[in-house]
Structure formats: structure tokens, C-alpha cells
């Protein structure tokens, strides 16, 4: 029976409301309400914004915003001017006083957050950021991410390979219907790779965003050739050019190692990945029917000869 998530979500909401209340207490030392401080923040980051733009960013009522803007204007925190290109439009900017007030609010907020996360280790802080990003993504608040936003390291750290095995088991079960035998296969092969890993000959590319691993690729030396393995990304990081960036790195690694042959195993279902491999010169060399992963499919071997 599926558990009911509503009580847990409501419990989290109560907890987070308390945290937000703690973070916003500094506003009591200023003449601004939380809504007014948010308006100042949005105008600072969008100088020359129109009221409609603030409404869209803050999701607030027009009449309520109008009262907030009037108060801030009376206090000489903001200034409103007719647009030079459209007399019907009014742009809003911070005055010198407004800029000074923003600096006070911003500094105070930064200090509050520093105090909140001070007891955490660096890894715990990274995990907190990753969890926050995950909540936003899962609730549909998707931010535009470019491949340049992703950090890529080529050194293994404790926990990397275990997490990569977890990603394979989870994503392939959800997206392809693979069973536990696939996860067992990945765990066995990753255990072998970890025992035999030679950083002078092998190469890993660990992709991280907001403090968590979101993608992975390994080049495993096999005598006079190299095997491409464990190529995986979280769904929300696909289609941003990251796959191409890793394939370029893989090809550069082959050249660095003076290796001219490579191969990989995949299945006939992985159409997007196969198309990417083909663009880099991999050609189908072998295929065989299989039920090794608890469903009928065709395993395929692709080879590259430079």
C-alpha cells in the first residue's frame, strides 16, 4: 500500500516556515516588511523594471503592489519614470538611498544564512544545497542549466562508484523496466573496476551540479583498446550538450593514451545514446538477444577504430 506523503509534506512546511521566520527576523530591525524587502530585492536585480514585471516575479496582487511602491517612493527608496521609448510605460529603479538599504538587507540576510549553516560540514552544506535544488526540480521549478554550469572532475572520491551503481539501478528500472539482475550486473562490474582502477590508464568523468553527482562516464583500459562504460545522466541534465562534452573528453583521452580502438556495450533501446556514439564513429559490430536484465532486449556491441 502506498504511503500517504501529505502529513510528511505538511510537517516539512511547518519546519521550513519556522526557518524562514528565523531568517526574516532581521527585518524587524528595519522599517521594511518582508514584502517590501522582496520588492527592493527584485528592483535591485532588475533596474528599470515595470510593475507588471514585479507582479510576475512575486505573484502578488496589482493593488497590493501599488500600495507597496507608493510607500517606497514616499520614503525615497525608489523612483518611477516614464520610459523614454514608450510614454505609456513606467520604469522603476532604486534611488541612492534604496541602494544603501538593499546593501543593509542583503548583508543581514547573508549573515543569517551563514549562521544557519555554520554547524554543517562542507559536505553536509553541499548536500543541503543539492536537496534544495532537487525539491525545486521535482515540484516543477526547473531552472535553465547549461553544460558550462556543470563541474567535471577526473578523480574518484569515496562513494562515487556506489552512487553511480545506484543511479543505474534506479534510472534503468524507471525508464526501461530493467529488473534487479541489471543492478547486480552493474554492482559486480563496478566492484571489478574499483579493484583494478589505474588512474594512469583509466579515466573517469564525474559531473557535479549544486553539490551532487548528476552524470558519469568511465574509460576503462583493456589491453590495446579502451571500453566506454557507465555513461549516465540524471534526466533533467540531458539535452544540454553535456553528453557531447564528455564524448569530446573521451576522444581526447584516447589520443592522450595513444589508443586507436574503443568499444562499448549497450542495448537496442538506447536510441539517443546510440545516435551520439555513431556521430563519433562507433559502428555496430555485434548483437545478441538477451533476457539478462529481466526483460527481452538486444544487447549490442559498438566499436571504434581510428
For the chain, the domains span 6-119, 147-305
Q: Residue 144 pLDDT more than 70?
A: no
- For 294, the 3-state DSSP assignment is coil
Q: How far apart are CA 60 and CA 200, in angstroms?
A: 58
Q: Count Cβ atoms below 10 Å from residue 123 Cβ, excluding itself.
A: 10
Q: Residue 84 pLDDT more than 90?
A: no
**Topology (CATH level 3) of domain 147-305:** Aminopeptidase (3.40.630)
pLDDT tens sequence across 155-185: 999 999 999 999 999 999 999 999 999 999 9
Least confident of 82-96, 217-231, 250-264: 82-96
Decide if 89 contacts 50 (C-beta within 8 A).
Answer: yes
6-119 maps to which CATH number?
1.10.10.10
Residue that wins the pLDDT comparison between 25 and 150: 150
Question: If residue 80 lies in a helix (H) or strand (E), which one and from where to where?
Answer: strand 78-82
Task: Give whole-number Cα distances, 81 to 16, 96, 100, 281, 289, in Å.
Answer: 39, 15, 20, 59, 71
Q: Residue 211, by phi and psi: left (phi above 0), alpha (psi -120 to 50) or beta?
A: left
Residue that wins the pLDDT comparison between 30 and 173: 173
Which residue's entry shows cell 526483460? 295
pLDDT score of 22: 64
pLDDT tens sequence across 194-234: 999 999 999 999 999 877 899 999 999 999 999 999 999 99
pLDDT score of 1: 45
pLDDT band of residue 86 (cuts 50, 70, 90) is low
- For 4, the 3-state DSSP assignment is coil
Residue that wins the pLDDT comparison between 305 and 21: 305
- For 208, the 3-state DSSP assignment is strand
> What nine digits make up the cell of 199?
588512474
What is the percent of the chain with per-residue pLDDT over 90, rounded to a whole number? 61
Smallest CA-to-CA distance from 242 within 270, 206, 266 is with 206
What is the percent of the chain with per-residue pLDDT over 70, rounded to a whole number? 93
Which residue's entry shows cell 551520439? 276
pLDDT band of residue 23 (cuts 50, 70, 90) is low
Mean pLDDT over each residue of the chain, to the nearest integer: 89
pTM, to two decimals: 0.65
In DSSP terms, 229 is beta-bridged to 218
Smallest CA-to-CA distance from 299 within 130, 291, 185, 289 is with 289
Q: How far apart are CA 272 and CA 270, in angstroms?
A: 6
pLDDT tens sequence across 93-117: 999 999 999 998 888 888 888 888 8
Amino acid at each position: 500500500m502506498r504511503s500517504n506523503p501529505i502529513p510528511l509534506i505538511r510537517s516539512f512546511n511547518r519546519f521550513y516556515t519556522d526557518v524562514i521566520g528565523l531568517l526574516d527576523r532581521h527585518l524587524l530591525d528595519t522599517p521594511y516588511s518582508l514584502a517590501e524587502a522582496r520588492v527592493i530585492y527584485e528592483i535591485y536585480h532588475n533596474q528599470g523594471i515595470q510593475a507588471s514585471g514585479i507582479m510576475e516575479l512575486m505573484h502578488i496582487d496589482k493593488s497590493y503592489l501599488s500600495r507597496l511602491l507608493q510607500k517606497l517612493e514616499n520614503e525615497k527608496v525608489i523612483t518611477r519614470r516614464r520610459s523614454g521609448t514608450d510614454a505609456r510605460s513606467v520604469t522603476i529603479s532604486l534611488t541612492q538611498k534604496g541602494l544603501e538599504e538593499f546593501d543593509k538587507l542583503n548583508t543581514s540576510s547573508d549573515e543569517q544564512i551563514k549562521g544557519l549553516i555554520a554547524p554543517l560540514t562542507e559536505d553536509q552544506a553541499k548536500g543541503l544545497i543539492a536537496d534544495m535544488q532537487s525539491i525545486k526540480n521535482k515540484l516543477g521549478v526547473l531552472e535553465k542549466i547549461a553544460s558550462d554550469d556543470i563541474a567535471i572532475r577526473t578523480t574518484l572520491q569515496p562513494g562515487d562508484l556506489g552512487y553511480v551503481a545506484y543511479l543505474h539501478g534506479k534510472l534503468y528500472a524507471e525508464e526501461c523496466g530493467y529488473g534487479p539482475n541489471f543492478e547486480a550486473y552493474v554492482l559486480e562490474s563496478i566492484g571489478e573496476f574499483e579493484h583494478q582502477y589505474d588512474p594512469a590508464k583509466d579515466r573517469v568523468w564525474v559531473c557535479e551540479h549544486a553539490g551532487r553527482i548528476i552524470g558519469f562516464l568511465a574509460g576503462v583500459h583493456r589491453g590495446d583498446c579502451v571500453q566506454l562504460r557507465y555513461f549516465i545522466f540524471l534526466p533533467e541534465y540531458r539535452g544540454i550538450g553535456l553528453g557531447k562534452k564528455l564524448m569530446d573528453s573521451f576522444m581526447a583521452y584516447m589520443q592522450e593514451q595513444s589508443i586507436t580502438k574503443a568499444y562499448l556495450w549497450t542495448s537496442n533501446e538506447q536510441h539517443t545514446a546510440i545516435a551520439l556514439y555513431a556521430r563519433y564513429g562507433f559502428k555496430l559490430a555485434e548483437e545478441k538477444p538477451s533476457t539478462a536484465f529481466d526483460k527481452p532486449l538486444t544487447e549490442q556491441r559498438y566499436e571504434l577504430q581510428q
